[in-house]
Amino acid sequence: MTNSSTSSVFQEPCFDLAHLAHVEMLTPTPEKSLWFFTEVMGLTVSATKSNSVYLRGWDDYEHHTLKLTGSNTSGIKHHAFRTTSQAALERRVEALKRHNTEFEWTEGDLGHGPACRFRNPDGHVVELYYDTQWYQATDGTRPSLKNQAARIPGRGANLRRLDHLNLLASDVKKTRIFMQDVLGCRLTEQIVFNDGSEKGAWFSVNNKSYDLAISEDHSGSSGRFHHMTYAVDSREEVLRAADICLDNGVYIETGPHKHAVQQTFFLYV
């Protein structure tokens, strides 16, 4: 490979990543967290294994998009992207090697095959994989429409699909460069102060406005995250979800209001 072709791999979006696949969240209150995600948010349990529960939105096409794991602390354990092909996965592994990023191969997990696991510059654990298990609807969940994965459950906020993840980082610029140069992501939005310091960055790996965002952690800590987001079908369903949270005593941190990238949302804790 010539120097010019090597340069293009690192500098141009390559779209080797297909989509944000799932997030593993840690919880010290697993029963309460499971109640929240199933009864309040309307996710469906795909499987359970050891101290983890695997959940999905009604139109998520993979086995799960949220892995909820009991722990003595809260936070994010890892997030994963599915690649567009086995060859794309191998290209990203080669990019990790060129970047001198340490990684390991795992046997995979429920719902997907072997995964390459590593840490980004801020310490977040990331997985890349290709082999996946598509969700198979049962007689009770099979929809009449062929372009959706399952019937709408009619429970809680009826979350449709995983949309994006917002990570906190002590050094936004360093992580932004890694996302572009090593993982091949496309930068779609950015916050840069007058002094040149980077405070936020938004990345897309497909035709969405963004799949992952990075915001500066004002505490200077590393490896933390701010929020993960599921999509619903309309603005009105966002407002309804806020009402459902109020009815169930879930504290809303901010909103509902409109996002800078033209999304209606609210944040809860």
Q: Which two tokens stand for residue 21?
A: 């696949």
Give the whole-angstrom CA distance, residue 45 versus residue 30.
13
pLDDT tens per residue, range 66-85: 999 999 999 999 999 999 99
> Beta partners for 7?
none
Q: What is the DSSP code (8-state) at residue 84?
A: S
pLDDT tens per residue, range 192-224: 999 999 999 999 999 888 999 999 999 988 899
List phi, psi (to 5°) of 103: -150, 165
**Average predicted confidence (pLDDT) for the chain:** 90
> Beta partners for 118?
103, 126
pLDDT of residue 234: 87
Q: How confident is the model at residue 8 (pLDDT cuts 50, 70, 90)?
A: very low
What does the pLDDT average to over 92-97?
97
Q: Poorest-confidence range of 10-24, 51-65, 152-166?
A: 10-24
pLDDT of residue 6: 39
| Close Cβ partners of 60 (under 8 Å, ≥ 6 residues apart) | 135, 149, 160, 161, 162
pLDDT of residue 256: 80
Give the whole-angstrom CA distance, residue 110 versus residue 57.
16
Residue 7 confidence (pLDDT) above 60 = no
Cβ-contact 207, 197 below 8 angstroms:
no
SS3 label, residue 216: strand
pLDDT of residue 259: 62
Give the whole-angstrom CA distance, residue 224 versus residue 18.
24
Give the whole-angstrom CA distance, residue 89 versus residue 14.
12
pLDDT of residue 152: 85
Residue 266 confidence (pLDDT) above 70 = no
pLDDT of residue 235: 87
State if pTM tops 0.85: yes
SS3 label, residue 187: strand
CA angle 130, 131, 135 (to 5 degrees): 115
pLDDT of residue 11: 56
Residue 143 confidence (pLDDT) above 90 = no
Residue 59 confidence (pLDDT) above 60 = yes
Residue 86 confidence (pLDDT) above 70 = yes
Q: What is the DSSP code (8-state) at residue 239?
A: H
If we measure between CA atoms, which residue out of 208, 258, 204, 206 comes closest to residue 18?
206
254 against 161, higher pLDDT: 161
Instruction: Name all domains of the chain by residue range, CATH numbers in brackets.
Output: 3-233 (3.10.180.10)
Q: How confident is the model at residue 129 (pLDDT cuts 50, 70, 90)?
A: very high
pLDDT of residue 138: 84
Cβ-contact 16, 83 below 8 angstroms:
yes
Residue 249 confidence (pLDDT) above 80 = yes
Q: What is the DSSP code (8-state) at residue 62?
A: B
